[in-house]
Amino acid sequence: MKSELTLEATDNMTKNRSSDQLIWLLIAAIALVAALFVPFSQFVLHVEYDYTLRTVALGGALLGIVSGVLGCFAVLRRQSLLGDALSHAALPGVAIAFLLAGRDLGLLLIGAGVTSWLGVYFIRLVTGTTRIKQDAAMGIVLAAWFAAGIALLVYIQARPDASQAGLDTFIFGQAAAIVERDVRLIATVGAVSFIVLALFWKEFKLITFDPEFAGASGFRVNLLSLLLSTLIVVAIVLGLQLAGVILMVGMLIASGIAARQWTNQLGQMVMLSAVFGAFAGGAGAIVSAVDADIPTGPLIVVVAFLLVAISLGFAPGRGLVWTLLRQRSDRRLFAAQTMLQDLYHYALDHGRADLPAPEPFLVGVRGAAAREGLRQLQARGHAQRSNGAWMLTRTGIEAAARDDRNHQLWSVYRQYADDLALPMVAEDRQQEIADALPPAAVAKLEYKLDTIRNAAASSTEEPSLPNAVTDR
Amino acid sequence: MTVRNGHDSNDNSTTALEIDDLTVAYNSKPAIWDIDLRVPEGVLMAVIGPNGAGKSTLIKAALKLIPRAAGTVQFYGQPYEQVRGLVGYVPQRGSVDWDFPTTVLDVVSMGLYGRLGWIRRPGQSERESAMHALEQVGMQEFADRQISQLSGGQQQRTFLARALVQDARIYLMDEPFAAVDAVTERAIIAILRELRARGKTVVVVHHDLQTAPEYFDWVTLLNVEIVASGPIAATFTPDNLRRTYGGRVAYLHEGQRIAGLEEE
Domain count, chain A: 3
A324 has a pLDDT exceeding 50: yes
Q: Report the predicted TM-score, pTM, of the whole model to 2 decimal places.
A: 0.81
Same domain, residue pair A65 and A138: yes
- Percent of chain A at pLDDT exceeding 70: 92
Same domain, residue pair A188 and A89: yes
* Cα gap B130→B139, rounded to integer Å: 11
Q: What is the complex's ipTM, to 2 decimals? A: 0.86
pLDDT of residue A285: 84
- Percent of chain A at pLDDT exceeding 90: 29
Judge contact between A335 and A377, C-beta under 8 A: no
* Cα gap A173→B103, rounded to integer Å: 39
C-alpha of A284 from chain center: 23
Average pLDDT across chain B, whole number = 86
> Given pLDDT bands bounded at 50, 70 and 90, which one contains residue A28?
confident
pLDDT of residue B172: 95
A267 has a pLDDT exceeding 70: yes
Going by their DSSP bridges, the two strands A389-392 and A383-386 should be labelled as: antiparallel
Residue A13 lies in a domain: no
Same domain, residue pair A222 and A311: yes
pLDDT of residue A31: 86
Chain A residues in contact with B165 (beta carbon < 8 A): none
* Cα gap A224→A56, rounded to integer Å: 33
Q: Which domain holds residue A333?
A: 323-392
Domain boundary among A349, A376, A392: A392
* Cα gap A242→A103, rounded to integer Å: 17
The partner residue sitting opposite B102, judged by closest CB among A78, A260, A266, is A266
Same domain, residue pair A46 and A130: yes
* Nearest C-alpha neighbor of A94 from the set A117, A113, A79: A113
pLDDT of residue B189: 92
A14 has a pLDDT exceeding 60: no
Distances (CA, A) of B148 to B139, B152, B155, B162: 15, 10, 9, 17
Taking CB atoms and an 8 Å limit, are B110 and A209 in contact across chains?
yes
A and B: number of Cβ contacts within 8 A: 96
Taking CB atoms and an 8 Å limit, are B103 and A131 in contact across chains?
no
Q: Tens digits of per-residue pLDDT, B172-218?
A: 999 999 888 887 888 899 999 999 999 999 999 998 888 899 999 99
Same domain, residue pair A450 and A333: no
Spell out the residues 6+ positions from residue A161 whose beta carbon is closer than 8 angstroms to its own: none
Spell out the residues 6+ positions from residue A399 whose beta carbon is closer than 8 angstroms to its own: A1, A340, A382
B128 close contact with A: CB closer than 8 A: no
Domains along chain B?
15-244 (3.40.50.300)
User: Per-residue pLDDT averaged across A249-259, rounded?
Assistant: 93
B220 has a pLDDT exceeding 90: yes
Residue A2 lies in a domain: no
Residue A233 lies in a domain: yes
Distances (CA, A) of B24 to A431, B69, B89: 52, 5, 19
List phi, psi (to 5°) of A176. Answer: -60, -20
Residue A8 lies in a domain: no
pLDDT of residue B178: 87
- Percent of chain B at pLDDT exceeding 70: 88
* Nearest C-alpha neighbor of A66 from the set A178, A174, A195, A175: A195
* Cα gap A264→A280, rounded to integer Å: 22
Residue A302 lies in a domain: yes
Going by their DSSP bridges, the two strands B15-26 and B29-40 should be labelled as: antiparallel
Q: Tens digits of per-residue pLDDT, A193-206?
A: 999 999 999 999 99
- Work out the minimum CA distance from A38 to partner chain B, whole angstroms: 32
Same domain, residue pair A133 and A193: yes
Domain boundary among A272, A295, A318: A318
Taking CB atoms and an 8 Å limit, are A208 and B145 in contact across chains?
no
> Given pLDDT bands bounded at 50, 70 and 90, which one contains residue A187?
very high
Residue A89 lies in a domain: yes
Taking CB atoms and an 8 Å limit, are A203 and B113 in contact across chains?
yes
Return the residue in A10, A75, A217 with the most chain B beta carbons within 10 A, the one to mutate for interface testing: A217
Same domain, residue pair A74 and A89: yes
A263 close contact with B: CB closer than 8 A: yes
Same domain, residue pair A412 and A453: yes
pLDDT of residue B5: 45
B1 has a pLDDT exceeding 50: no
Same domain, residue pair A249 and A371: no
Q: Tens digits of per-residue pLDDT, A116-164?
A: 989 988 988 898 888 888 889 999 999 999 999 999 998 888 887 766 6
A369 has a pLDDT exceeding 70: yes
Spell out the residues 6+ positions from residue A273 whose beta carbon is closer than 8 angstroms to its own: A68, A69, A71, A72, A255, A256, A258, A259
Same domain, residue pair A379 and A261: no
User: Per-residue pLDDT averaged across B85-113, rounded?
Assistant: 93
C-alpha of B164 from chain center: 13
Q: Tens digits of per-residue pLDDT, B128-166?
A: 999 999 998 888 888 988 999 898 889 999 999 999 999
Chain A residues in contact with B156 (beta carbon < 8 A): none
pLDDT of residue A461: 52
Taking CB atoms and an 8 Å limit, are B114 and A217 in contact across chains?
yes
Instruction: Give the CATH number for residue A222.
Output: 1.10.3470.10
Residue A64 lies in a domain: yes
Q: Which of A27-36, A295-304, A374-383, A451-460 has the lowest mean pLDDT?
A: A451-460
A12: number of Cβ within 10 Å = 13
Same domain, residue pair A268 and A378: no
Same domain, residue pair A77 and A212: yes
Domain boundary among A288, A318, A348: A318
Instruction: Give the CATH number for residue A383.
Output: 1.10.10
pLDDT of residue A467: 47
Burial code (b: 16+ CB inside 10 Å, e: under 16) for A126-162 equals bbeeeeeebeebbebbbebbbebbbebbeebeeeeee
Angle between helices A221-260 and A80-89 (to 10 degrees): 110
pLDDT of residue B41: 93
Average pLDDT across chain A, whole number = 85
* Cα gap B156→B232, rounded to integer Å: 25
Report which of residues B3 and B169 the model is more confident about: B169
A269 close contact with B: CB closer than 8 A: yes
Residue A332 lies in a domain: yes
pLDDT of residue A16: 52
Q: Tens digits of per-residue pLDDT, A36-88?
A: 888 887 787 777 778 888 888 899 999 999 999 999 999 999 888 888 898 99
Peptide bond into B238 cis (omega under 30): no
